[in-house]
Structure 1
Amino acid sequence: MREFVLGVVASAWLAGAAWAQPLAPNPPVPLSPYASATEAQAAMREGRLTSEALVRADLDRIAALNHAGPRLNAVIAVNPHALADARALDAERRRGHVRGPLHGVPILLKDNVESADGTATTAGSLALAANVTGRDAPIVRRLTDAGAVILGKTNLSEWANYRSTESISGWSAVGGLVRNPHVLDRSACGSSSGSGAAVAAGLASAAIGTETDGSITCPAAANGVVGLKPTVGLVSRRFIVPISPEQDTAGPMTRTVADAAAVLFAIAGSDPEDPATKAADAHRTDYLAALAPEALKGARIGVVRGVVHGSPQTDAVFDAALEALTRAGAVLVEVKPPEAAVMKEIGEGEDAALHTEFKAAIDAYLAATPPAVKSRTLADLIAFDRAEPRETPLFGQEIFEAAARSPAPSDPAHQARRARIRKLAADALDKMMADAKVEALVSPTGGPAWQVDPVSDGKFFGSPTTLPAVSGYPHLTVPMGEVLGLPVGLSFVGPAWSEARLLALGYAFEQATHARRDPPFLRTLADRPAVAAAYDPR
């Protein structure tokens, strides 16, 4: 297996040799496929790299690692105009016009985000295979206005993991199962599994994920990258396949905090047709300028334990992360998490609220899709899945069926439930921060990725995602270390609109630890020598 892994990585590197083609006026300088967007931008600025060479290398790497080799299944579709777009941006640069830190940088979109490049937006479902809308979501237009090259679409947990309670995270009927590039038989988590795996594997400089509850932060942590779920309302959700207008948001998934800051600055802002974003322009700021390696000095940080449980190895990595925070100057304060009864009420209320919100949101979305899409309602989707065996070989559609029976969003009981759980979640976070006089909370984002098994569930260690998801508050995860080579992340949660401060804190932690590791594409943990020796001592 070792020879196979090294061969795949070597072939991918050779396939990326377009990066080393002569680029006037300076001699060629090889660039790692795991280089940050910031590093790629510096190379382009200095004439050592072009956007066309960078995009071509990423396309070659997708061919070598996504469609062949370990078959990551992280990328569903490639933008047929990506190279032409890169050449146009190179021409702009030669004329002396650079749009910003993303100029010429390739970015992947989760395949529930519409883009006007001829690719379908499927949400992983065969029911949307013909959903070629010919329009850019506002966040896509913002990215291209900032100079980014849209490289293509990433795989995801089908319908953003909102079809079945028994779903396999990272699986869709369109794209198959996303594989975790660190250990291929481990979950890439979801629903932004393809975005997380693609960024971790060096298939693009950055990706866009979406989150309703955990769908950016879990795959970011499981794949060992940075993920940010912004405050709900900072980023437009228009032309993104929805679950809930109360909790949905898009956000960046990158290899570094600085890259996440650059992507967030590009996509943040008000959209007149998304009322939730009314205040976004007032809160949008230069997130890159706010980064500082000394940001943790004197910062009061609340430590939340017990949210992630049952993994002593993760606890040990978390303790080491806390020591790093202290060495960087942070003042750590132990914070008591909310009572179990409060979390139970929030969780049960969220389930019921999302059923109602999804039914209305997906019906409205489907009604506006092109005529080639034959499923026009949730009821149509349920009928499609029943008639299409490729949709249900592994699990069913219990969530769809429950949502179809739910009341309308105008139902007073629903409105009262949504208002109550939002307040409970916000009050819980506000109280933890106020009582301890801290500006942010930290905890593990989750345990190490579990083994994918279509028969029995893997071991899930819990996560801190629900409170920021239901309250709409921001949530950042940054790599904090590994458990037997499986990445685990450190979560930073703060009040609404605190993205600049969270990114600054996360950046300072990243610079103090440099915990992210390039993936080895192991077939299974038993291919790690220490594990193999323990399994089969000689």
Structure 2
Amino acid sequence: MFRTFTLAAAAAALAGGAAAQPVTPYSSAAAQQQAMRAGAVTSEQLVRLSLDRIAQIDKAGPKLNSVLAINPHVMADARKVDAERRAGRVRGPLHGVPVLLKDNIESWDGTATTAGSLALLDNVPQRDAPVVRRLTDAGAVILGKTNLSEWANFRSTRSISGWSAVGGLVRNPYSLDRTACGSSSGSGVAVAAGLAAIAIGTETDGSVTCPAAMNGVVGLKPTVGLVSRTFIVPISPEQDTAGPMTRTVADAAAVLTVIAGTDPADPATAEADKRRTDYVAALDANSLKGARIGVLRNLAGRHPDTDAVYEKALAAMREAGAVLVDVKGPEDSVLAQVGAAEGDTLRAEFKAALDAYLASTPEAVKTRSLEALIAFNSAEPRETPLFGQEIFEQSAKAPALTDPAYRKQRADAKTLAAQTLDRLMREAGVEVLVSPSGGPASIVDPVNGSRFFGSPSSLPAVSGYPHLTVPMGYVRGLPVGISFIGPAWSEARLLSLGHAFELATEARRPPEFLPSVNARPEVARAYDPR
């Protein structure tokens, strides 16, 4: 069905003399918008194509499990924006583009907001999160909700990324037996697999950037306070943020331009209106020329193949004119100190924030506190077949947010993280830092757990600084990303540099939906050479 439509779209574009390219499952949102402007495709047709692909790829076929729910009136929403276009009203570059939401973000469309938990199956809100309202006000069409690591990976120290009791395991489309990372697993996989050009994820520490990198897409964790968190199931008001997950940096810039802004209900966003800009207009294909970039190598040696891909990425930046400066650090002792404080403080913040959120949910939701959730999980075997709820239990015993020791620990950790990043950039005389976003995806192993090759996510997460990941290459067919980290409110520069890198390398390629890396010809031949 997709091939038939692609040919029809091409014919329609040619008949109208338009320059629009045929729409494919991997077309960017910008290309979809161009095709709609040319009359080659409608929003209704784009939605139908996404629904067909979800049925074929996500629910059948490879069975990715990345989409939890479909907006029941998505077709009506698409027809509405199509009618607006015919009447001459186009609200912007997202007008008519289908968008998926991580299922911890509330949308007033009849779908539940579950955070992946059976306890929230009745959490069907009659309110939109401001981030959703900004998208729909810009003409985007909410397609549905994506699966996630349950409770955004904040239930157990032994959790399996991408698993939820509501949706099961999200599978990596590059190798179905490998982790999709998390917690925005479904959002990353859905974009990678061509189910939608745009998804919204959320991050407290690594939950946008890790699944983006491991699924070969772009992911941006904005500065905390640039995007509203109201009506998003929380972990921490100190670190939580929503962010775009897309196949191109330009699409991420377009989404951020729409969703950034002040929300009176979220005090952290007080500066957002002053800080936000047109991130698409700020993109410059030549921005690497003359840019001073700090090169982090503290993850070197953990995965030599990733190191090799990183060196090629750095060479591409040099060729594009970047001035690369090796940066020593961050020190392991600093990372350990920040990590320990983060673990303690997040538990206190989670308890307070979650209790407040649950108290605001519809009356049909019966688990209205963390203590009630712990009891629910203990009584519901479908919640704990693979791992428990140690983080829940530890959080229930955490101190109140008024506790002086907690307040000092949080302030010290945030200051240390920010000062460390600031110092690394200042001493090297650079404007941003780059690092591998991590290693390739490990095999999902419910017995021994997954291997983890490290990540640069904690310092920007605890400091609240922005963190962008862009595809940089592949290891045995598995994607690896490169991270761009800058000071607070530096999204425009990060996106511009990431855009230039993306254009210089053209690293991203679509997934093959292989059952395993073992099925790759070069691996299979090595396993059985005779």
Q: What is the TM-score of this pair, normalised by structure 1?
A: 0.96
Amino acid in structure 2 at the alignment position of 1:100: G
Equivalent of 1:48 in 36, 40, 51: 40
Match of 2:359 in 1: 367
**Change in 2 beyond 3 A, CA 1:489/1:88:** same
Query: What's the CA shift string for 1:164-205, capped at 9, x where partnerless?
Result: 000000000000000011111110000000000000000011
Q: What per-residue deviation string (whole Å, max 9, x for no partner) do you get for residues 494-529 of structure 1?
A: 000000000000000000001011000000011110
Match of 1:175 in 2: 167
The match for 1:422 among 414, 424, 429 is 414
1:8: which partner in 2?
A: none
Q: 2:370 aligns with which of 370, 375, 378?
A: 378
In structure 1, how many angstroms separate the alpha carbons of the residues matched to 2:450 and 2:147? Answer: 21
- Of all paired residues, the percent bearing the same amino acid is 69
Q: 2:434 aligns with which of 432, 442, 445?
A: 442
AA in 1 matched with 2:135: L
Work out whether residues 298 and 330 of structure 2, in 8 Å CA contact, stay in contact via their aligned partners in 1: no
From 468, 487, 490, the equivalent of 1:495 is: 487
Q: Work out the CA distance in 2 between the residues paired with 1:432 and 1:295.
A: 21
Aligned equivalent of 1:210: 202
SS at match of 1:495: coil
Measured in 2, the distance between the counterparts of 1:14 and 1:95 equals 28
Counterparts of 1:482 and 1:457 in 2: how far apart (Å)?
A: 23
Measure the CA separation in 2 of the matches of 1:291 and 1:415. 39
Quick one: which amino acid aligns to residue 491 of structure 2?
E
What secondary structure does 2:57 align onto? helix
1:138 aligns with 2:130: yes
Change (3 A) 1:428 1:310: same
Paired residue type of 2:35: A
Deviations 1:378-416 (A, max 9, x none): 000000000000000000000000000101011000000
> For 2:241 and 2:85, how far apart are their aligned partners in 1?
32
Partner SS, residue 250 of structure 1: strand
* CA pair 15-111 structure 1, distance change in 2 beyond 3 A: farther
State the alpha-carbon separation in 1 of the partners of residues 424 and 333 from structure 2.
16
Deviation of 1:21 (Å) = 9.0
Counterpart AA for 1:404: A
Cross-structure match for 2:311: 319
Q: Is the alpha carbon distance of 1:408 and 1:257 closer, same or farther for their aligned partners in structure 2, counting shifts above 3 Å?
A: same
1:235 aligns with 2:217: no
| Residues 183, 523 of structure 1: 8 Å contact kept | yes
> What amino acid is aligned across from residue 26 of structure 1 in structure 2?
G
SS at structure 2 position matched to 1:464:
coil
CA–CA distance in structure 1, aligned partners of residues 22 and 510 of structure 2: 17
* Structure 2: 5+ residue stretches without partners: none
Question: How far is the alpha carbon of 1:222 from its aligned partner?
Answer: 0.2
1:521 corresponds, among 508, 513, 519, to 513
Alpha-carbon distance change, 313 to 411 in structure 1, aligned in 2, over 3 angstroms = same
Q: Does 1:349 align with 2:341?
A: yes
Q: 2:293 aligns with which of 301, 314, 338?
A: 301
Rate the CA distance shift 1:517–1:193 in 2: closer, same or farther, 3 A. Answer: same
Residues 391-445 of structure 1, C-alpha deviation per residue, up to 9 Å, x if partnerless?
0000000000000010101100000000000000000000000000100000000
What CA distance in whole angstroms lies between the structure 1 residues aligned with 2:33 and 2:461? 33
Q: Does 1:156 align with 2:151?
A: no
Q: Contact 1:23/1:50 (CA < 8 Å) preserved in 2?
A: no
**2:221 and 2:329 mapped to 1: Cα distance?**
21
- 2-structure distance, mates of 1:456, 1:218: 21
Residue in structure 2 matched with residue 508 of structure 1 by the alignment = 500
- Aligned residue runs from structure 1 range 63-212, under 5 A: 63-212=55-204
Cα distance change of structure 1 residues 306 and 184 upon mapping to structure 2, 3 Å threshold: same
- Secondary structure of 2:101's match? strand
Q: Which runs of 5+ in 1 are unaligned?
A: 1-10
> CA distance change for structure 1 residues 248 and 146 in 2, over 3 Å: closer, same or farther?
same
Distance 2:354 2:8 in 1: 42
Offset of 1:26 from its aligned partner? 3.1
User: Which residue is 1:5 aligned to?
Assistant: none
Cα offset for 1:458? 2.2
For the residue of structure 2 that corresponds to 1:489, the secondary structure is: strand
Q: Distance in 1 between matches of 2:430 and 2:362?
A: 49
- Tell me the equivalent position of 2:458: 466
Asked if 2 retains the 8 angstrom alpha-carbon contact of 1:308 and 1:445, the reply is: no
**Number of equivalent positions:** 528
CA displacement 1:34-77 (0-9 Å, x = unmatched): 01001111111111111111111001000001110010000000
1:338, distance to aligned residue in structure 2 (A): 2.1
CA offset at residue 22 of structure 1?
A: 5.8
CA RMSD of aligned residues (A): 1.5
| Residues 308 and 447, structure 1, Cα contact 8 Å, conserved in 2 | no
**Secondary structure of the equivalent of 2:99?**
strand
